[in-house]
Amino acid sequence: MDQSAQMKLTAPTLSVTDFNLPSLHLLHDEIIATLKDTEIHLSEFNDDSSQAPLLSDSIDVLKQLSCIFKLISLVGAEVLNNAIVDGLQRLYDNGDNNDMALIMDLSEAIMTLERYVEFVLLTESVEPTLLLPVVNNLNAHGQKPPMTVEDFSTFGSSSVIIANPEQNFEPLSALNLDTKLPDLCLS
């Protein structure tokens, strides 16, 4: 086994969760763009029910976003995103833009999800219980039982903590690297 593969296998665990903060940073702009598009599609459907195909487009993209949240272990965002998908699907299936309560709750949920992603990035912590009221509002439209704090407590609530960061670094001499720089002068 080469040295880089061995280092990957023996790398220390840096956080108290499986939450992948660097991936969220990388995906942040795409997540926000997806949520903004969903807001626009919901608004256009609210104005004109013939725009229902836009909801279908948003549903497809948000399902992919749920998979991303699952992949990076941002479970609270995944739960809220799935509730948004279910609400949009109900609107699409009914083809009716007269359910103002659902449309308003969806709008609030989309904005909340956007703010939650920002919160996680700024605080480097996951607090899925913050999403509980919004998730339950959406679930009520589908006659789903409300989620409880205990449901979210299984997902965890913690900060990303790097313990003893100085122990996570090795001096170059310990890595058996060639520390002499080659002569790169072009003549």
Give the N- to C-terminal CA distance of the chain in Å, as an integer.
39
- What does pTM read for this prediction? 0.74
CA distance 65 to 81: 8
Give the model confidence (pLDDT) of 134-144 as tens digits. 999 999 999 99
The Cα 89–Cα 141 span in angstroms is 12
Residue 125 has what pLDDT? 85
Q: Looking at residue 85, what is its pLDDT?
A: 98
Structural contact between residues 115 and 151, judged by C-beta atoms closer than 8 angstroms? no
What pLDDT digit, counting tens, does each position of 61-109 carry? Answer: 999 999 999 998 898 999 999 999 999 999 999 988 889 999 999 999 9
27-67 residue pLDDT tens:
999 999 999 999 999 999 999 999 999 999 999 999 999 99
Q: Is the dihedral of CA 12, 14, 19, 21 positive or negative?
A: negative
CA-based torsion, 105, 108, 112, 114: positive or negative: positive
Number of other CB atoms surrounding residue 184 within 10 Å: 5
pLDDT the model gives residue 67: 94
Average pLDDT over residues 9-29: 65
Choosing among 2.60.40, 1.20.120, 1.10.3470, 1.10.760, the CATH entry for 14-164 is: 1.20.120
pLDDT higher than threshold 80 for residue 163? no
Tell me how crowded residue 47 is: count the other CB atoms within 10 A of its CB: 10
With residue 17 as reference, give the H or E element that holds it: none
Confidence at residue 13, expressed as pLDDT on a 0 to 100 scale: 37
| Three-state DSSP state, 155 | coil
Higher pLDDT, 78 or 180: 78
Domain segments of the chain as ranges? 14-164
pLDDT of residue 176: 64
